Amino acid sequence: MIRTRFAPSPTGYMHIGNLRTALYTYLIAKKENGKFILRIEDTDTERFVEGAIDIIFNVLKDTGLNYDEGPDIPGDFGPYVQSERKHLYEEYAEKLVEKGHAYYCFCNEERLSHLREEALKNNTVFKYDKHCLNLSKKEIQKKLENQEPYVIRQNNPVEGTTTFNDILYGEITVPNFELEDMILLKTDKMPTYNFANVIDDHLMNITHIVRGKEYLSSAPKYQRLYEAFSWEVPIYIHCPHIMKNETEKLSKRNGDASYNDLIDKGYLSEAIINYIALLGWSPSSNEEFFTLDELIKNFDYKNISKSSSIFDIKKLTWMNSEYIKKMDKEKFHEITSKYYDNLPSQIDRKLLSEMLQSRIEIFTQIPEIIDFLINLPDYDLSIFEHKKMKTTKESSLKILTEVLPIFENTNNYSIENINSLLNEYISSNSYKNGFVLWPIRCALSGKNSSPGGASELSYLFKKDETLRRLKISINKLS
């Protein structure tokens, strides 16, 4: 059975790159009716952020990436939080020491700093010099008895090569002298990220691993760990970077948009998932819109590109607008209702939602679009001048003055009745529709764009407010 895992560190909000990793990992498992596992990698205690685990849970739930096993869903391979598996890592690190694939390192920070300074001075990459590998068993035993602090380092060879395979990049071979003896177990007996995920992936029977391209350089060291234990190596898929532009990677540390940021800005979860699926993966068809179930059906990790993708907020915004247009009207109204708290009581909120649904791209545009319903803006009279409608300030004053009695003499402010009365006026004077309706809309909204036209706005405002606004415009234009 295919078993995949999403293994985030609880260091803050869910970055877009992390969410794409979760999505691809989920799709690989579900495509083959496999298992999708959530594992929390919290070994880096210095970067731990309170509440970040709950954010991970909530984002996966919100996006529909439901895991089969995890911290809150018991399975046969728990616990699913690395800090609760601490005893396992020490045991396996000691096994590597016994086999000669790892060793105790007692070097203090002063010595390590000196090595780094020397590397900097010589313009070389810092690499630990295997100093403690040469300690005798007697020296090691004495240091352990004296309780000297130590780490356990991987013992990588300095000769020969190491080869590993990746689905996208094929077979990659590196010379062993490039491999650093990375720390496996820290002085507090906590494992490093690189060591813990190898142990956990094996013990949890993980078959496919999706991660960022930046981990390609660590893959040879993982390969050597698998070989040291004589374990089967999982299938690797190292995904290309998501870029903010041609030269800069999208980065949580640089404050780039997280999933929660996008939701707060008014994007739909379904649109976000659809969009990030296409950041690196190409479907076999030209289709751009996919539900999660359709992604499961169509996704093939062998079609992931090696090339980086640029996160295009304009493309996401367009896609989000298309999702909004196709939304169930009741659901749309339910979401938009929270923006209506300060509206006058006479405003028909359901009609307003219908007027907005085809006009907005993201939900946070709503307050600015509907602010005129609360207070008439202090508008510039130039809004009445429109080349296409052939309106001027003078013509607008004439029209508003002539239509004012129409609005005054009717108490039926239904859209249909207002439409009928205005059409009769337009027809009897042989005017073009826009020549009449544009100044009315501008008078009622104080803007050169608004949801709905003259009849819809007058219906929303009802008689008193409609007349008040028409008179204000007439006075300003006079």
Residues 77, 419: Cα–Cα separation, whole Å:
68
pTM exceeds 0.85 for this model? yes
Do 394 and 471 share a structural domain?
yes
- Paired tokens of 250: 């999208």
- Per-residue model confidence (pLDDT) at position 249: 75
Q: Which of 239, 270, 302 is the last residue in one of the domains? A: 239
**Do the beta carbons of residue 398 and residue 374 sit within 8 Å?**
no
Tokens representing 475? 């006075």
Q: Is residue 317 part of a domain?
A: no
Is the same domain home to 438 and 458? yes
Q: Please give the pLDDT value at position 247.
A: 75
- Whether residue 12 lies inside any domain: the answer is yes
Q: Indicate if 178 and 274 belong to the same structural domain.
A: no
Q: Exposed, middle or buried, 236 (CB in 10 Å: 0-12/13-18/19+)?
A: buried
190: nearest Cα among 39, 87, 61, 115: 87
Domain check: are 219 and 257 in the same one? no
- In this structure, what DSSP letter does residue 381 have? G
The reply to whether 321 falls in a domain is no
Compute φ and ψ for 237, nearest 5 degrees: -130, 100
State yes or no: cis peptide before 79, omega within 30 of 0: yes
- Do residues 204 and 89 share a domain? yes
Are 20 and 154 in the same domain? no
d(CA 178, CA 169) in angstroms, rounded, equals: 19
- Rounded to whole angstroms, the Cα distance separating 73 from 33 reads 18
CATH number of the domain to which 426 belongs: 1.10.10.350
- Domain contains 322: no
Same domain, 184 and 252: no
Q: How many domains does the chain have?
A: 4
8 A C-beta contact, residue 469 and residue 425: no
Buried b (16+ CB within 10 A) or exposed e, 259-293: beebeeebbbbbbbbbbbbbbbbebeeeeeebebe
**Phi, psi of 3, rounded to the nearest 5 degrees:** -130, 120
- Give the residue numbers spanning the domain of 360: 328-365
Q: Domain ends where: 212, 239, 266?
A: 239
Task: Measure the CA–CA gap between 67 and 73, rounded to whole angstroms.
Answer: 8
What CATH number does the domain containing 166 carry? 3.40.50.620
For residue 167, is it within any domain? yes
> How many whole angstroms from its chain centre is CA 159?
43
Q: What is the pLDDT along the chain (478 residues), one digit of tens a residue?
A: 999 999 999 988 898 999 999 999 999 999 999 999 999 999 888 888 899 999 999 999 999 999 999 999 999 999 999 999 998 999 999 999 999 999 999 999 999 999 999 999 999 889 999 999 999 999 999 999 999 999 999 999 999 999 999 999 999 999 999 999 999 999 999 999 999 999 999 999 999 999 999 999 999 999 999 999 999 999 999 999 998 888 787 765 555 579 999 999 999 999 999 999 999 999 988 899 999 999 999 999 999 999 999 999 999 999 999 999 999 999 999 999 999 999 999 999 999 999 999 999 999 999 999 999 999 999 999 999 999 999 999 999 999 999 999 999 999 999 999 999 999 999 999 999 999 999 999 999 999 889 989 999 999 999 999 999 999 999 999 9
Dihedral sign (CA 133, 135, 141, 144): negative
Cα 59 to Cα 65: distance, rounded to the nearest angstrom? 8
Residues 104 and 195 in one domain: yes
Is 110 domain-assigned? yes
pLDDT computed for residue 254 by the predictor = 55
Whether residues 306 and 340 fall in one domain:
no
Count of CB atoms situated within 10 Å of the CB of 245: 9
- d(CA 164, CA 232) in angstroms, rounded, equals 12
Q: Are strands 208-212 and 242-243 parallel, antiparallel or unpaired?
A: unpaired
Residue 315 lies in a domain: no
Question: Which residues contact residue 181 at a Cβ distance below 8 angstroms, ignoring those fewer than 6 apart?
Answer: 103, 105, 127, 128, 130, 133, 153, 154, 155, 156
Look at residues 220, 239, 258 and tell me which one is the last residue of a structural domain. Answer: 239
Count the neighbouring beta carbons within 10 Å of the beta carbon of residue 400. Answer: 22
Classify strands 235-239 and 151-154 as parallel, antiparallel or unpaired: unpaired
Q: Which residue has the tokens 């600015």?
A: 368
Catalytic residue of the set 127, 130, 143, 252: 252
How wide is the angle at C-alpha 356 spanned by C-alphas 350 and 361, nearest 5°?
Answer: 140
**What single DSSP character describes residue 338?**
G
Q: Does the active-site annotation cover 252? A: yes
What are the structure tokens assigned to 276, written together?
């990030």
Which residue type, as a one-letter code, is found at position 34? G
pLDDT at 285: 87
Where do we find the tokens 């190491």? 162
Same domain membership, residue 88 and residue 225: yes
**Whether residues 424 and 444 fall in one domain:** yes
Q: Considering the domain boundaries, does residue 179 fall inside one? A: yes
Q: Do 91 and 209 fall into the same domain?
A: yes
